[in-house]
Structure 1
Amino acid sequence: MKKTFLPLLLALSIISCKNSESDNSDAEMTSETTEVASSEQKDGIGNTIAMANGLDKFKDATEVEFTFNVKVNDTVRSSRHWKWNTKTSEISLTEGDITQSYTKTDSIPEDKVSIDQKFINDSYWLLFPYQLVWSDAKLTEEKEVAAPISGDTLTKLEVAYNTDGGYTPGDTYDIYYGDDHMIEEWVYKAAGGDRQMATTWEDYEEFMGIPIAKMHKSEDGNFQLYFTDIVIK
């Protein structure tokens, strides 16, 4: 799959205030940091997390359908329904009563770029663990770190993308997971460090044996990004 980057700015633009990662500088714990070489990521921790999240089962999926929703202060700000044929790369987006379709290729027509940006954003939220194998990133693992929202002691994996290529180059994602390699929280950091947002990964449900986190919340709960109408077959 072509290297792509998650434009979480699409979600951030919905929120008027900047969310920041909790300050855990006073936490008394020892940590061990290990940088994972790019050449090792597909066979190392990246692959381990992706497989724990059903990558081997996803290879058999032919169709993925879901609705991406964003709610801020109890008001739904965005709702997009997607149908994705994983074999033909045909994708359709329905917003309100308007449906648009395109085929995802290495060259996206100019009039379809905005749809493709939305699809990358929404599908990354849905299936981010697979991007640890599908896309190129520098991975740095740190043991026994306090998670930004819960404060639980988890393993942190920094996922840093190059500063060229994709829609939002230079973005970084800190994911926090336990011994089962399921993401519990993450922090998105925009290139340049001027924007960041921490949310949970929760309400997991399996579809065709593939675990999906259906809910993502900010620490105060005022921001909720969640999935409905999920079908994988």
Structure 2
Amino acid sequence: MRYIVGILLCSFIVFSCKKDAKKQYTYDNNDEVKEEKTITKIPSTTEAIAKANGFDQWKKVQEIKFTFNIDRDSSHYERSWNWKPKNNEIILTTANDTIAYNRTNIDSVSIRADQGFINDKYWLLAPFNLVWDQNSFTSSHEVKAIAPISNKEMQKLTIVYKNEGGYTPGDAYDFYFEGDFKIKEWVFREKNKPEPSLITSWEDYENFNGIQIAKTHQKNEGNWKLYFTNIEVITDK
């Protein structure tokens, strides 16, 4: 992650994507419109997943607050974040400390906090990272694949991060989704190893000012749950 905690074009025959239509104009010598054409762009699979989770609303987001929680057997861990993405300002609050920093100026003190932030933010907004990180990974899409937890037939998007940049380069993710392009399950594979490092569900979706967030992730085995509380998405009026 982008995993720190312990842890191609759409086919209309198989599934549908919402098209993005743009107008193209041709002008005459008097700057009058001579011809109008509608250019239709079909989103890629990564764009379709991001859009299904409200990516078009991201430009309105001023601030996000959330608490990242992990329950493992009888233990509980949590940390809270206040993130102002337009200014790159972040505040981390834990039971023991509060750290405020700006992502444009990370030093030896804030780097540990930032590693945690990248991890937690990835869990929160992985569908958006499919657009934000699109130049940092390669991807492939399977129309039919068996999801590892439910054993249901779904579509599968695999991304493999490049071996440079980021805190954990070379990691791979398999996203399983259906026709609504909402992630239902995923597999994390450290350093693109063939065997899974972690498999969890994506469930308990809720709309926060147009941003769709899966609040709960549970492992396919064992008593382990990762979830978000105190979520607040503040947008432009």
> What CA distance in whole angstroms lies between the structure 2 residues aligned with 1:91 and 1:60?
18
Residue equivalent to 1:100: 99
- For residues 82 and 2 of structure 2, what CA distance do their matches in structure 1 show? 20
Alignment of 1:15-164 (within 5 A): 43-76=43-76, 78-105=77-104, 107-135=105-133, 136-164=136-164
Aligned residues: 198
> Which residue is 2:39 aligned to?
none
Give the equivalent residue in structure 2 for 1:214.
Answer: 215
- Aligned to 1:59, the other structure's residue is in SS state helix
Corresponding residue of 1:21: none
Using CA pairs under 8 Å that are at least 6 residues apart, name the structure with larger relative contact order, 1 or 2: 1
* RMSD, matched Cα: 1.7
CA contact (8 A) 2:4 2:116 kept: no
Residue number in structure 2 paired with 1:204: 205
Task: Give, in whole Å, the separation in 2 of the partners of 1:92 and 1:74.
Answer: 28
- Give the structure 2 partner of residue 11 of structure 1: 6
Tell me which amino acid in the other structure corresponds to 2:101.
Answer: Y
Q: Is the alpha carbon distance of 1:192 and 1:87 closer, same or farther for their aligned partners in structure 2, counting shifts above 3 Å? A: closer
Separation (CA, whole Å) in 1 of partners of 2:153 and 2:222: 21
- CA–CA separation in structure 2 for the residues paired with 1:172 and 1:96: 32
> Partners in 2 of 1:103 and 1:9 — Cα distance?
20
Q: Distance in 2 between matches of 1:174 and 1:206?
A: 24
Alignment partners' CA distance in 2, 1:224 and 1:74: 11
* Greater than 6 Å deviation, 4+ residue runs: none
When the two structures are superposed, what TM-score results if normalisation uses the length of structure 1? Answer: 0.81
Task: Give distance in 2, aligned partners of 1:60 and 1:72.
Answer: 35
2:73 is aligned with what amino acid?
A: N
Q: Which sections of structure 2, spanning at least 5 residues, go unmatched?
A: 8-13, 15-41
The higher radius of gyration belongs to: 2
Cα deviation per residue 1:198-227 (whole Å; 9 max; x = unaligned)? 000000011002110000001125110000
Fraction of identical pairs, as percent: 41
The 3-state SS of whatever aligns with 2:206 is strand
More strand as a share of residues: 2
Pair 1:96–1:9, CA change in 2 (3 A): same
CA deviations on 1:173-222 (whole Å, 9 max, x unpaired) are: 00000000000000000016276110000000110021100000011251
